[in-house]
Amino acid sequence: MYGPLRKIFREQKAVTYVKIYREQLYIKTFKIDRMILKDRFMEMKMTYLDHAATTAVKSEVLEEMLPYFAMHYGNPSALYRTSRKSRNAIETAREQVANAIKASKSEIYFCSGGTESDNWAILGASRQYKHKGMHMITSAIEHPAVLSSFRQLEKEGYEVSYLPVDSKGMVSLELLKESIRPDTILISIMMANNEVGTIEPLTEIGLIAKENGILFHTDAISVAGSLPIDVSALNVDLLSLSAHKFYGPKGIGALYIRKGTALEALHTGGEQEKGRRAGTENVPAIVGMGKAAELMVKNLDSHQKRMEQLRDEAIKRILDRFPEASLNGSRMERLPGNVNILFPGNAAESMIIKLDERGISVSSGSACTTGSPNPSHVLKAMGLSHKDAQCSLRFTFGEENTLQDVEDLLKALEEITT
Protein backbone atom coordinates (compact mmCIF):
# COMPACT_ATOMS: atom_id res chain seq x y z
CA MET A 1 0.00 0.00 0.00
CA TYR A 2 2.86 2.36 0.88
CA GLY A 3 4.35 2.43 -2.66
CA PRO A 4 1.18 3.40 -4.51
CA LEU A 5 0.20 5.87 -1.81
CA ARG A 6 3.51 7.66 -2.13
CA LYS A 7 3.29 7.75 -5.89
CA ILE A 8 -0.15 9.33 -5.96
CA PHE A 9 0.98 11.57 -3.16
CA ARG A 10 3.81 12.82 -5.37
CA GLU A 11 1.41 13.34 -8.26
CA GLN A 12 -0.56 15.64 -6.03
CA LYS A 13 2.62 17.70 -5.70
CA ALA A 14 2.61 17.36 -1.94
CA VAL A 15 6.32 16.62 -1.91
CA THR A 16 7.18 19.04 0.87
CA TYR A 17 6.91 16.18 3.35
CA VAL A 18 10.55 15.33 2.68
CA LYS A 19 11.75 18.71 4.01
CA ILE A 20 12.40 19.74 7.63
CA TYR A 21 10.33 17.99 10.33
CA ARG A 22 10.26 15.18 7.87
CA GLU A 23 8.97 12.51 10.17
CA GLN A 24 6.27 14.48 11.93
CA LEU A 25 5.13 16.10 8.74
CA TYR A 26 5.14 12.79 6.90
CA ILE A 27 2.96 11.17 9.51
CA LYS A 28 0.59 14.10 9.48
CA THR A 29 0.31 14.40 5.71
CA PHE A 30 0.16 10.65 5.32
CA LYS A 31 -2.88 10.54 7.55
CA ILE A 32 -4.65 13.35 5.74
CA ASP A 33 -3.63 12.00 2.42
CA ARG A 34 -4.89 8.54 3.23
CA MET A 35 -8.37 9.95 3.46
CA ILE A 36 -8.12 11.37 -0.04
CA LEU A 37 -6.32 8.34 -1.35
CA LYS A 38 -8.84 5.96 0.07
CA ASP A 39 -11.39 7.42 -2.27
CA ARG A 40 -8.99 7.33 -5.13
CA PHE A 41 -8.26 3.69 -4.43
CA MET A 42 -11.95 2.89 -4.31
CA GLU A 43 -12.29 4.48 -7.70
CA MET A 44 -9.25 2.75 -9.15
CA LYS A 45 -10.21 -0.04 -11.48
CA MET A 46 -8.87 -3.33 -10.17
CA THR A 47 -8.00 -5.87 -12.82
CA TYR A 48 -7.54 -9.37 -11.44
CA LEU A 49 -5.43 -11.55 -13.73
CA ASP A 50 -4.41 -14.30 -11.30
CA HIS A 51 -7.26 -16.81 -11.55
CA ALA A 52 -4.80 -19.71 -11.42
CA ALA A 53 -3.99 -18.65 -7.86
CA THR A 54 -7.62 -18.47 -6.78
CA THR A 55 -11.04 -17.24 -7.87
CA ALA A 56 -13.81 -15.29 -6.14
CA VAL A 57 -16.70 -17.34 -4.76
CA LYS A 58 -19.73 -16.89 -7.04
CA SER A 59 -22.78 -15.33 -5.45
CA GLU A 60 -24.92 -18.41 -6.29
CA VAL A 61 -22.31 -20.56 -4.51
CA LEU A 62 -22.20 -18.33 -1.43
CA GLU A 63 -26.00 -18.29 -1.30
CA GLU A 64 -26.09 -22.10 -1.20
CA MET A 65 -23.44 -22.21 1.52
CA LEU A 66 -24.88 -19.66 3.95
CA PRO A 67 -27.72 -21.72 5.51
CA TYR A 68 -25.21 -24.42 6.52
CA PHE A 69 -23.28 -22.17 8.92
CA ALA A 70 -25.96 -21.31 11.47
CA MET A 71 -29.27 -22.77 10.33
CA HIS A 72 -28.56 -26.34 9.18
CA TYR A 73 -25.55 -26.79 11.41
CA GLY A 74 -26.17 -30.36 12.58
CA ASN A 75 -23.28 -32.79 12.61
CA PRO A 76 -23.83 -34.99 9.54
CA SER A 77 -22.97 -38.09 11.56
CA ALA A 78 -25.85 -37.69 14.05
CA LEU A 79 -29.27 -39.30 13.65
CA TYR A 80 -31.75 -36.44 14.10
CA ARG A 81 -33.43 -34.14 11.58
CA THR A 82 -30.97 -31.20 11.62
CA SER A 83 -28.17 -33.62 10.92
CA ARG A 84 -30.00 -35.34 8.11
CA LYS A 85 -30.22 -31.95 6.38
CA SER A 86 -26.40 -31.64 6.50
CA ARG A 87 -25.89 -35.24 5.44
CA ASN A 88 -28.24 -34.88 2.48
CA ALA A 89 -26.49 -31.65 1.44
CA ILE A 90 -23.13 -33.48 1.39
CA GLU A 91 -24.60 -36.22 -0.78
CA THR A 92 -26.06 -33.68 -3.22
CA ALA A 93 -22.64 -32.02 -3.47
CA ARG A 94 -20.98 -35.41 -4.02
CA GLU A 95 -23.30 -36.00 -6.95
CA GLN A 96 -22.63 -32.53 -8.40
CA VAL A 97 -18.84 -33.07 -8.25
CA ALA A 98 -19.16 -36.59 -9.69
CA ASN A 99 -21.26 -35.30 -12.61
CA ALA A 100 -18.67 -32.62 -13.36
CA ILE A 101 -15.95 -35.22 -14.01
CA LYS A 102 -18.23 -38.04 -15.28
CA ALA A 103 -17.55 -40.21 -12.26
CA SER A 104 -20.00 -42.04 -10.09
CA LYS A 105 -21.07 -40.50 -6.79
CA SER A 106 -19.50 -43.26 -4.71
CA GLU A 107 -16.07 -42.44 -6.17
CA ILE A 108 -15.89 -38.86 -4.77
CA TYR A 109 -14.26 -38.22 -1.38
CA PHE A 110 -14.16 -34.74 0.13
CA CYS A 111 -11.04 -33.45 1.88
CA SER A 112 -9.47 -30.13 2.89
CA GLY A 113 -8.29 -28.99 -0.55
CA GLY A 114 -5.98 -29.68 -3.45
CA THR A 115 -2.90 -30.13 -1.31
CA GLU A 116 -4.48 -32.83 0.84
CA SER A 117 -6.00 -34.50 -2.20
CA ASP A 118 -2.56 -34.76 -3.87
CA ASN A 119 -0.87 -35.85 -0.61
CA TRP A 120 -3.55 -38.48 0.05
CA ALA A 121 -3.43 -39.97 -3.47
CA ILE A 122 0.36 -40.31 -3.48
CA LEU A 123 1.12 -41.20 0.14
CA GLY A 124 -1.98 -43.38 0.43
CA ALA A 125 -1.36 -45.33 -2.79
CA SER A 126 2.35 -45.87 -2.21
CA ARG A 127 1.83 -47.17 1.33
CA GLN A 128 -1.13 -49.32 0.26
CA TYR A 129 0.82 -51.03 -2.55
CA LYS A 130 4.24 -51.16 -0.91
CA HIS A 131 4.14 -54.97 -1.01
CA LYS A 132 4.04 -54.80 -4.83
CA GLY A 133 6.98 -52.43 -5.24
CA MET A 134 8.55 -49.20 -4.10
CA HIS A 135 9.13 -47.31 -7.35
CA MET A 136 7.03 -44.41 -8.60
CA ILE A 137 7.09 -42.01 -11.56
CA THR A 138 6.20 -38.33 -11.66
CA SER A 139 7.30 -35.24 -13.61
CA ALA A 140 9.72 -32.46 -12.72
CA ILE A 141 7.02 -29.80 -13.15
CA GLU A 142 4.40 -31.00 -10.68
CA HIS A 143 2.92 -28.71 -8.04
CA PRO A 144 4.80 -28.69 -4.70
CA ALA A 145 1.86 -30.59 -3.14
CA VAL A 146 2.83 -33.55 -5.36
CA LEU A 147 6.60 -33.12 -5.28
CA SER A 148 6.71 -32.84 -1.48
CA SER A 149 4.74 -36.09 -1.15
CA PHE A 150 7.34 -37.87 -3.27
CA ARG A 151 10.22 -36.28 -1.33
CA GLN A 152 8.61 -37.61 1.84
CA LEU A 153 8.37 -41.10 0.35
CA GLU A 154 12.03 -41.01 -0.70
CA LYS A 155 12.88 -40.51 2.97
CA GLU A 156 10.86 -43.66 3.68
CA GLY A 157 12.96 -45.69 1.21
CA TYR A 158 10.87 -45.42 -1.98
CA GLU A 159 12.50 -44.62 -5.31
CA VAL A 160 11.06 -41.89 -7.53
CA SER A 161 11.77 -41.15 -11.21
CA TYR A 162 11.23 -37.47 -12.01
CA LEU A 163 10.55 -37.24 -15.76
CA PRO A 164 12.14 -34.23 -17.45
CA VAL A 165 10.00 -32.09 -19.78
CA ASP A 166 10.79 -30.47 -23.14
CA SER A 167 11.09 -26.71 -23.69
CA LYS A 168 7.28 -26.42 -23.83
CA GLY A 169 6.77 -28.24 -20.54
CA MET A 170 5.60 -31.49 -22.17
CA VAL A 171 6.29 -34.92 -20.71
CA SER A 172 7.70 -37.49 -23.18
CA LEU A 173 5.68 -40.69 -23.55
CA GLU A 174 8.84 -42.52 -24.66
CA LEU A 175 10.70 -41.51 -21.50
CA LEU A 176 7.69 -42.54 -19.44
CA LYS A 177 7.66 -46.01 -21.02
CA GLU A 178 11.41 -46.36 -20.49
CA SER A 179 11.08 -45.44 -16.81
CA ILE A 180 8.56 -48.17 -16.00
CA ARG A 181 10.03 -51.04 -13.96
CA PRO A 182 8.54 -54.27 -12.64
CA ASP A 183 8.32 -52.65 -9.20
CA THR A 184 6.60 -49.41 -10.39
CA ILE A 185 3.38 -48.96 -8.41
CA LEU A 186 2.28 -45.41 -9.21
CA ILE A 187 2.45 -42.78 -11.97
CA SER A 188 1.43 -39.22 -11.04
CA ILE A 189 1.41 -36.65 -13.84
CA MET A 190 -0.59 -33.43 -13.75
CA MET A 191 -3.33 -32.88 -16.35
CA ALA A 192 -2.05 -29.39 -17.13
CA ASN A 193 0.62 -27.24 -15.55
CA ASN A 194 -0.60 -24.43 -13.31
CA GLU A 195 2.26 -22.05 -14.19
CA VAL A 196 2.72 -22.34 -17.96
CA GLY A 197 -0.62 -23.94 -18.85
CA THR A 198 0.84 -26.83 -20.88
CA ILE A 199 -1.70 -29.65 -21.25
CA GLU A 200 -0.08 -33.07 -20.88
CA PRO A 201 -0.97 -36.08 -23.09
CA LEU A 202 -3.05 -37.58 -20.30
CA THR A 203 -5.15 -40.10 -22.26
CA GLU A 204 -1.97 -41.68 -23.63
CA ILE A 205 -0.32 -41.68 -20.20
CA GLY A 206 -3.43 -43.31 -18.75
CA LEU A 207 -3.29 -46.04 -21.40
CA ILE A 208 0.39 -46.73 -20.70
CA ALA A 209 -0.36 -47.00 -16.98
CA LYS A 210 -3.32 -49.30 -17.62
CA GLU A 211 -1.38 -51.57 -20.00
CA ASN A 212 1.31 -51.96 -17.37
CA GLY A 213 -1.08 -52.46 -14.46
CA ILE A 214 0.17 -49.33 -12.67
CA LEU A 215 -2.04 -47.02 -10.64
CA PHE A 216 -2.42 -43.57 -12.25
CA HIS A 217 -3.01 -40.31 -10.37
CA THR A 218 -3.47 -36.88 -11.93
CA ASP A 219 -3.59 -33.43 -10.38
CA ALA A 220 -6.42 -31.85 -12.41
CA ILE A 221 -6.61 -28.79 -10.16
CA SER A 222 -5.77 -26.19 -12.79
CA VAL A 223 -7.96 -27.86 -15.42
CA ALA A 224 -11.27 -28.00 -13.54
CA GLY A 225 -13.34 -25.06 -14.70
CA SER A 226 -11.24 -24.59 -17.85
CA LEU A 227 -11.66 -27.81 -19.83
CA PRO A 228 -13.97 -30.84 -19.67
CA ILE A 229 -12.77 -33.76 -17.50
CA ASP A 230 -13.87 -37.35 -18.09
CA VAL A 231 -12.26 -39.82 -15.69
CA SER A 232 -13.10 -42.86 -17.82
CA ALA A 233 -11.72 -41.42 -21.04
CA LEU A 234 -8.54 -40.44 -19.18
CA ASN A 235 -8.03 -43.90 -17.64
CA VAL A 236 -7.16 -42.35 -14.28
CA ASP A 237 -7.56 -44.16 -10.96
CA LEU A 238 -7.09 -41.09 -8.75
CA LEU A 239 -7.81 -37.45 -9.63
CA SER A 240 -7.39 -34.34 -7.44
CA LEU A 241 -9.66 -31.27 -7.44
CA SER A 242 -9.74 -28.02 -5.47
CA ALA A 243 -12.89 -25.86 -5.28
CA HIS A 244 -11.28 -22.43 -5.04
CA LYS A 245 -9.90 -22.74 -8.57
CA PHE A 246 -13.41 -22.84 -10.06
CA TYR A 247 -15.28 -20.14 -8.11
CA GLY A 248 -15.90 -22.27 -5.03
CA PRO A 249 -14.63 -21.71 -1.49
CA LYS A 250 -11.08 -22.25 -0.25
CA GLY A 251 -10.13 -25.12 2.05
CA ILE A 252 -12.21 -27.78 0.32
CA GLY A 253 -11.22 -30.31 -2.30
CA ALA A 254 -11.97 -33.80 -3.47
CA LEU A 255 -10.18 -36.95 -4.47
CA TYR A 256 -11.74 -39.17 -7.12
CA ILE A 257 -10.92 -42.79 -6.25
CA ARG A 258 -11.87 -45.26 -8.98
CA LYS A 259 -14.20 -47.97 -7.70
CA GLY A 260 -12.19 -50.93 -6.39
CA THR A 261 -9.01 -48.91 -5.73
CA ALA A 262 -7.65 -49.45 -2.23
CA LEU A 263 -5.96 -46.45 -0.62
CA GLU A 264 -4.48 -46.07 2.83
CA ALA A 265 -6.15 -43.33 4.88
CA LEU A 266 -4.13 -40.31 6.01
CA HIS A 267 -6.76 -39.09 8.47
CA THR A 268 -7.97 -41.63 10.99
CA GLY A 269 -10.30 -41.57 13.98
CA GLY A 270 -13.77 -41.43 12.47
CA GLU A 271 -16.08 -43.10 9.99
CA GLN A 272 -16.67 -40.05 7.77
CA GLU A 273 -16.29 -40.48 4.01
CA LYS A 274 -16.96 -44.21 4.37
CA GLY A 275 -14.15 -44.49 6.87
CA ARG A 276 -11.54 -43.35 4.34
CA ARG A 277 -11.09 -39.74 5.53
CA ALA A 278 -11.89 -39.12 9.18
CA GLY A 279 -12.97 -35.75 10.56
CA THR A 280 -16.28 -33.89 10.83
CA GLU A 281 -17.15 -32.66 7.37
CA ASN A 282 -16.90 -28.97 6.46
CA VAL A 283 -20.53 -28.91 5.33
CA PRO A 284 -20.82 -25.29 4.04
CA ALA A 285 -17.63 -25.69 2.02
CA ILE A 286 -18.71 -29.05 0.61
CA VAL A 287 -22.07 -27.51 -0.39
CA GLY A 288 -20.15 -24.65 -2.04
CA MET A 289 -17.88 -27.03 -3.93
CA GLY A 290 -20.90 -28.95 -5.20
CA LYS A 291 -22.66 -25.84 -6.44
CA ALA A 292 -19.47 -24.48 -8.04
CA ALA A 293 -18.98 -27.83 -9.82
CA GLU A 294 -22.56 -27.74 -11.10
CA LEU A 295 -22.16 -24.19 -12.45
CA MET A 296 -18.77 -25.01 -13.92
CA VAL A 297 -20.10 -27.70 -16.27
CA LYS A 298 -23.19 -25.72 -17.14
CA ASN A 299 -21.17 -22.84 -18.60
CA LEU A 300 -18.01 -24.64 -19.61
CA ASP A 301 -18.35 -24.46 -23.38
CA SER A 302 -18.91 -20.73 -23.65
CA HIS A 303 -16.47 -19.99 -20.80
CA GLN A 304 -13.73 -21.98 -22.53
CA LYS A 305 -14.26 -20.08 -25.80
CA ARG A 306 -14.12 -16.70 -24.03
CA MET A 307 -10.94 -17.63 -22.15
CA GLU A 308 -9.28 -18.82 -25.35
CA GLN A 309 -10.15 -15.54 -27.02
CA LEU A 310 -8.69 -13.46 -24.18
CA ARG A 311 -5.58 -15.67 -24.00
CA ASP A 312 -4.94 -15.52 -27.75
CA GLU A 313 -5.51 -11.78 -27.92
CA ALA A 314 -3.19 -11.16 -24.97
CA ILE A 315 -0.42 -13.39 -26.39
CA LYS A 316 -0.66 -11.78 -29.83
CA ARG A 317 -0.74 -8.20 -28.54
CA ILE A 318 2.09 -8.69 -26.04
CA LEU A 319 4.40 -10.46 -28.50
CA ASP A 320 3.65 -7.84 -31.21
CA ARG A 321 4.37 -4.98 -28.85
CA PHE A 322 7.44 -6.52 -27.14
CA PRO A 323 9.47 -8.28 -29.84
CA GLU A 324 12.11 -9.40 -27.33
CA ALA A 325 9.49 -11.16 -25.17
CA SER A 326 8.59 -14.82 -25.65
CA LEU A 327 5.82 -17.20 -24.63
CA ASN A 328 6.61 -19.81 -21.99
CA GLY A 329 4.85 -23.13 -22.57
CA SER A 330 3.06 -24.64 -25.52
CA ARG A 331 1.21 -22.37 -27.95
CA MET A 332 -1.38 -24.97 -28.93
CA GLU A 333 -1.62 -27.43 -26.01
CA ARG A 334 -2.40 -24.69 -23.53
CA LEU A 335 -5.00 -24.01 -20.85
CA PRO A 336 -7.60 -21.52 -22.16
CA GLY A 337 -6.95 -18.64 -19.74
CA ASN A 338 -3.18 -18.98 -19.32
CA VAL A 339 -0.53 -16.56 -20.62
CA ASN A 340 3.05 -16.86 -19.34
CA ILE A 341 5.58 -14.45 -20.84
CA LEU A 342 9.31 -13.99 -20.47
CA PHE A 343 10.27 -10.29 -20.50
CA PRO A 344 14.08 -10.48 -20.72
CA GLY A 345 15.85 -8.08 -18.38
CA ASN A 346 12.70 -7.20 -16.40
CA ALA A 347 12.58 -8.72 -12.93
CA ALA A 348 9.18 -10.34 -12.36
CA GLU A 349 8.99 -9.24 -8.75
CA SER A 350 9.42 -5.59 -9.62
CA MET A 351 6.92 -5.84 -12.51
CA ILE A 352 4.34 -7.41 -10.18
CA ILE A 353 4.67 -4.49 -7.76
CA LYS A 354 4.47 -1.89 -10.55
CA LEU A 355 1.42 -3.57 -12.08
CA ASP A 356 -0.18 -3.71 -8.65
CA GLU A 357 0.35 0.06 -8.34
CA ARG A 358 -1.72 0.34 -11.51
CA GLY A 359 -4.46 -1.90 -10.10
CA ILE A 360 -3.47 -5.06 -12.00
CA SER A 361 -2.92 -8.30 -10.05
CA VAL A 362 -0.64 -10.87 -11.69
CA SER A 363 1.89 -13.40 -10.48
CA SER A 364 5.12 -15.03 -11.47
CA GLY A 365 3.95 -18.61 -10.94
CA SER A 366 2.51 -20.84 -8.30
CA ALA A 367 0.87 -18.96 -5.42
CA CYS A 368 2.25 -21.56 -3.03
CA THR A 369 5.86 -20.66 -3.82
CA THR A 370 5.41 -16.89 -3.76
CA GLY A 371 7.86 -15.43 -1.31
CA SER A 372 10.48 -18.01 -2.21
CA PRO A 373 13.65 -16.41 -3.61
CA ASN A 374 14.14 -19.40 -5.91
CA PRO A 375 12.93 -19.09 -9.50
CA SER A 376 10.13 -21.37 -10.70
CA HIS A 377 11.12 -25.06 -10.80
CA VAL A 378 8.76 -25.41 -13.77
CA LEU A 379 10.53 -22.80 -15.92
CA LYS A 380 13.94 -24.17 -14.87
CA ALA A 381 12.84 -27.70 -15.88
CA MET A 382 11.81 -26.28 -19.29
CA GLY A 383 15.36 -25.06 -19.78
CA LEU A 384 15.11 -21.37 -18.89
CA SER A 385 18.15 -19.86 -17.23
CA HIS A 386 17.93 -18.82 -13.59
CA LYS A 387 17.72 -15.18 -14.72
CA ASP A 388 15.06 -15.69 -17.41
CA ALA A 389 12.97 -17.73 -14.99
CA GLN A 390 12.97 -14.69 -12.71
CA CYS A 391 11.81 -12.44 -15.56
CA SER A 392 8.61 -14.31 -16.41
CA LEU A 393 5.07 -13.26 -15.58
CA ARG A 394 1.87 -15.30 -15.50
CA PHE A 395 -1.48 -13.75 -16.45
CA THR A 396 -4.51 -15.97 -15.93
CA PHE A 397 -7.93 -14.82 -17.09
CA GLY A 398 -11.31 -15.55 -15.54
CA GLU A 399 -15.02 -14.92 -15.88
CA GLU A 400 -15.07 -11.21 -15.13
CA ASN A 401 -12.27 -10.29 -17.55
CA THR A 402 -12.90 -8.60 -20.89
CA LEU A 403 -10.85 -7.46 -23.87
CA GLN A 404 -10.60 -4.08 -22.14
CA ASP A 405 -8.49 -5.79 -19.44
CA VAL A 406 -6.06 -6.99 -22.13
CA GLU A 407 -5.92 -3.39 -23.36
CA ASP A 408 -5.23 -2.08 -19.84
CA LEU A 409 -2.59 -4.74 -19.23
CA LEU A 410 -0.78 -3.81 -22.42
CA LYS A 411 -0.80 -0.12 -21.55
CA ALA A 412 0.55 -0.84 -18.07
CA LEU A 413 3.25 -3.16 -19.42
CA GLU A 414 4.37 -0.41 -21.82
CA GLU A 415 4.76 1.96 -18.86
CA ILE A 416 6.72 -0.43 -16.64
CA THR A 417 9.05 -2.40 -18.91
CA THR A 418 12.56 -1.25 -19.71
Q: CB of 221: closest distance to ligand PLP in angstroms?
A: 4
Chain residues that interact with ligand PLP, rule: CB under 6 A: 113-115, 118, 143, 145, 190, 194, 219, 221-222, 242, 244, 253, 366-368
Between residues 96 and 242, which has the closer beta carbon with respect to ligand PLP? 242
Q: CB of 53: closest distance to ligand PLP in angstroms?
A: 6
Between residues 137 and 335, which has the closer beta carbon with respect to ligand PLP? 335
CB 145 within 8 A of CB 115: yes
For 226-296, strand residue ranges (E) read: 238-242, 253-257
DSSP 8-state secondary structure symbol assigned to residue 275: G
CA-based nearest residue to 160, from 128, 190, 126: 126
CB 211 within 8 A of CB 180: no
Between residues 334 and 354, which has the closer beta carbon with respect to ligand PLP? 334
Between residues 114 and 206, which has the closer beta carbon with respect to ligand PLP? 114
Q: CB of 204: closest distance to ligand PLP in angstroms?
A: 20
Q: CB of 195: closest distance to ligand PLP in angstroms?
A: 8
368 is an active site residue: yes
Between residues 240 and 346, which has the closer beta carbon with respect to ligand PLP? 240
Q: CB of 229: closest distance to ligand PLP in angstroms?
A: 14
What are the two backbone dihedrals, phi and then psi, of residue 308, each rounded to the nearest 5 degrees?
A: -65, -40
Q: From the candidates 66, 180, 368, 416, which is the catalytic residue?
A: 368
CA-based nearest residue to 254, from 238, 274, 231, 234: 238
Ramachandran area for residue 197 (φ above 0: left; ψ -120 to 50: alpha; else beta): left
Q: What is the CA radius of gyration of the chain?
A: 24
Q: Which residue is nearest to ligand PLP (CB)?
A: 114
Please report which residue ranges of 212-261 form alpha helices under DSSP H: 231-234
**Paired residues of 339 in beta bridges:** 395
What are the two backbone dihedrals, phi and then psi, of residue 280, each rounded to the nearest 5 degrees?
A: -55, 130
Q: Which residues does the annotation mark as catalytic?
A: 368
